[in-house]
Amino acid sequence: MRKILGVGILLFLGLQAGIARAELFAVDVNAEAGYYNASGIQNGDDVNRTLAGGTAGVRARLSFLFLNAMADYQHFFSNADVFHIGIGPIYKFPIPLLKPYIYLNLGLLMLKASSGALDPEPVSDLAMKTGFQGRAGGGMDLSIMPFLVVGAVVDAGYHRFKESGGLDYSILGYVGLRI
């Protein structure tokens, strides 16, 4: 029984090694558009506000093996800006044409918004806020050419500023370059 179990474990690990291939080095740059929602934002009072709506932005990733450094900027059409920079693991599934991936990212979040971008609307604009954010997500690249992709990404996370914190999520489509 032990021999069968040992052979089974070795076979399983061998199959996983084939699946868990990683690119040695990759650079991704995406032009994105979609929907972003962040809750639990306070503007100098105890009222939790939500920032939600359509966005356009850019996301850049630098990957080395399974490590992923990411910078993500989104501009809301309602006149707000969100910037995230962080680091974490990424796993890219080895499927030829459709290239699904999942990631986890921890880092810094910066947010600035006009009063009209928040719900309920505060009396004054939201000054620049800086905090921490953890996010997890997944997406799929569809290769148009070896260096050009279209795709979609969904992620969700938690952000924490000095006085408040909340959940956030985004659903974005993109056109991207892969180097």
Nearest CA among 40, 151, 35 for reference residue 95: 151
Q: What is the pLDDT of residue 96?
A: 80
Mean of the pLDDT values across residues 26-34? 96
- Would 1 be classed as within a structural domain? no
Question: For all residues of the chain together, what is the average pLDDT?
Answer: 88
Most confident of 2-6, 61-65, 84-88: 84-88
Share of the chain above pLDDT 70, in %: 87
- Would 13 be classed as within a structural domain? no
Lowest average pLDDT, out of 11-15, 71-75, 130-134, goes to 11-15
Lowest average pLDDT, out of 44-48, 105-109, 126-130, goes to 44-48
Do 167 and 156 touch, CB atoms closer than 8 A? yes
- Would 49 be classed as within a structural domain? yes
- Would 124 be classed as within a structural domain? yes
- Would 4 be classed as within a structural domain? no
In the predicted structure, residue 172 carries a pLDDT above the cut 80: yes
Nearest CA among 109, 110, 176, 170 for reference residue 136: 170
In the predicted structure, residue 137 carries a pLDDT above the cut 50: yes
115 lies in which domain range? Answer: 22-178
Q: Rounded to two decimals, what is the model's pTM?
A: 0.83
Mean of the pLDDT values across residues 163-169? 94
- Would 10 be classed as within a structural domain? no
- Would 170 be classed as within a structural domain? yes
pLDDT band at 4 (very low <50, low <70, confident <90, very high): low
- Would 17 be classed as within a structural domain? no
E strands, the chain, where?
25-41, 49-64, 67-76, 80-92, 98-113, 118-119, 126-145, 148-160, 165-178
b/e code 120-159 from CB counts within 10 Å (16+ = b) = eebeeebeebebebbbebebbbeeeeeeebebebebebeb
Q: How many domains would you assign to the chain? A: 1
Backbone angles phi, psi at 111, to 5 degrees: -140, 135
Q: What is the pLDDT of residue 97?
A: 82
List pLDDT tens digits, range 82-115: 999 999 999 989 888 889 999 999 999 999 999 8
Domain of 135, CATH number, reads 2.40.160.20
Lowest average pLDDT, out of 8-17, 34-43, 106-115, 132-141, goes to 8-17
Do 51 and 113 touch, CB atoms closer than 8 A? yes
Q: What is the pLDDT of residue 13?
A: 43
